[in-house]
Structure 1
Amino acid sequence: MRQGASGHVRLVQCGRRTLVEKRLPDPLGHDTEALALRTLAGSGLHVPELVEVAPGSILMTRMPGERLDEVHPDVRLDGLRASAALLRRLHGIEPPAELPAAPDDARTIRRYVDAGGPPLPLTIPPATPAVFCHGDWGDGNLLAVDGRITAVLDWEKAHLGDPLRELAGAAWGAARKDPRSFDAIAEGYGADPDALRPWVPIHAARLWLWFAEMGPPEHLDQLTAELLAWHDA
């Protein structure tokens, strides 16, 4: 069973209800997901309802729809454009005080350079005021019915961060599958695509480090080739 791609997820039958149990081995991720879902209850965003939170485990309602990464490319594109408006809404919600800080991009740059990653223009853009961020906004964490977003899943990486940084990560990640996605997501959010592009190398470096450390090797090889071609263009 897949609703989201992090932790161990399974369906649980509770009386007449089918619920989703998510087990997260990382205590920070577990607590962050529970915090985010509590905060967003009643916000108008389509998120699961918490049923029970126990150490290492979160029980929540099952959300309708199929993953946006499993639909026709044109339906996916429409869904991504629509999801960007939801991301903008998230960025306008008052974040809880306990929300973790954003990832340390300066540390990412140092690790990337030390690891010998492909040349990238790694400069951290000027910061904008921090907002409530999802942390992994993408088609694998979005459910949809006929292109309409029905759920946003996997909140364990939620943090207080730069909205353009998050939007750029969503746009670049989606554009690796379909180049049309970058402008579609920027348009759906109401942002200038050029304002997002300075953040893209940071996300590329983070993903390259992830593949270098976690694999699989073929994903690292593919991304390395993409970044080398990008540098040579």
Structure 2
Amino acid sequence: MADPLRHDTEVGALRALAGSGLPVPALVEVAPGSILMTYLPGERLDRLDAQRQLDGLTASSGLLRQLHQMPLPAGLPKAPDDELIIRRYRDAGGPPLPLRIPPAHRPVFCHGDWTNGNLLVTDTEITGVVDWEAAHIGDPLRELSRAAWGASLNDPRSFDALVDGYGADRADVMAWTPVHAAELWLWFVEAGPPEYLASLTQRLTNWPA
């Protein structure tokens, strides 16, 4: 892993998760630029059919809530700077969005990238939550919203599957979605590919009033 901060973040997160009951890899050996960890069984959720992905997301919601109830580990980064995201998005000329930062909730232990690609499953059991290099201390509804909105881009049913499974208020979670849309748009501006940026730009241009 080339980025020392992301390397150290993943190591710190996995050390904090040891013995938690969450299905995460155990550290075997840590060296500068590399992490050796235990193998976890299962397939990546994003490689399965739509119904199995939906079932897997529903199953994962309880694990996300469990993570958010854990003690805060020392040394993890702060949450992304949403004011900076909004300012950069507007400066870059992104499509108009109803951008505002919702009221804050008590900060929690966040995974940072709770997506179908970072969940391993067998049948509908979650056997692994991987890739902890974006872990941070942040708002639980921000993380839930990012996961639910991102999954809904491929299957709109995913939003309710995660939010209802987690037990959050849908309106509170929805309030965060413009921020995630702006963050993703900036990602595609900087990293591409152009066709994804064009598709997302069209989606954001038609954002509900």
Per-residue deviation, residues 152-203 of structure 1 (Å, max 9, x unmatched): 0000000000000000000000000000010110111011211101100000
Deviation at 1:230, TM superposition (A): 1.6
Counterpart for residue 188 of structure 1:
165
- Structure in which a larger fraction of residues adopt strand: 1
- Structure ranking higher on relative contact order (CA contacts 8 Å, 6+ apart): 2
- State the identity as a percent: 66
| 1:102 equivalenced with 2:102 (yes/no) | no
Which residue identity lines up with residue 22 of structure 2 in the other structure? L
> What is the SS of the residue equivalent to 1:230?
coil
> What is the SS of the residue equivalent to 2:155?
coil
Which residue identity lines up with residue 162 of structure 2 in the other structure? I
Contact 1:182 1:193 in 2 (8 A): no
- After TM superposition, list the pairs within 5 Å mapping 1:57-206 onto structure 2: 57-206=34-183
Q: 2:19 & 2:32 partners in 1: Cα distance? A: 24
Counterpart for residue 38 of structure 1:
15
- After TM superposition, list the pairs within 5 Å mapping 1:1-16 onto structure 2: none
> What is the SS of the residue equivalent to 1:205?
helix
Which residues of structure 2 form unaligned runs of 5+?
A: none
Which residues of structure 1 form unaligned runs of 5+?
A: 1-23
Q: 1:219 & 1:55 partners in 2: Cα distance? A: 34
| 1:217 equivalenced with 2:182 (yes/no) | no
> What is the SS of the residue equivalent to 2:207?
helix
Which residue identity lines up with residue 104 of structure 1 in the other structure? D
Structure 1 runs of 4+ with >3 Å offset? none
Deviation at 1:86, TM superposition (A): 0.2
Deviation at 1:76, TM superposition (A): 0.7
How high is the TM-score relative to the length of structure 1? 0.88
Q: 1:187 & 1:228 partners in 2: Cα distance? A: 28
Per-residue deviation, residues 3-37 of structure 1 (Å, max 9, x unmatched): xxxxxxxxxxxxxxxxxxxxx11111000000000
Q: 1:162 & 1:208 partners in 2: Cα distance? A: 21
Q: 1:26 & 1:225 partners in 2: Cα distance? A: 33
How high is the TM-score relative to the length of structure 2? 0.98
Deviation at 1:74, TM superposition (A): 0.6
> What is the SS of the residue equivalent to 1:221?
helix
Per-residue deviation, residues 59-91 of structure 1 (Å, max 9, x unmatched): 001110000001111111010011011000000
Which residue identity lines up with residue 85 of structure 2 in the other structure? T
> What is the SS of the residue equivalent to 2:175?
helix
RMSD (CA atoms): 0.8
Q: 2:185 & 2:33 partners in 1: Cα distance? A: 28
Q: 2:143 & 2:98 partners in 1: Cα distance? A: 18
Which residue identity lines up with residue 144 of structure 1 in the other structure? V
Deviation at 1:112, TM superposition (A): 0.3
Deviation at 1:121, TM superposition (A): 0.6
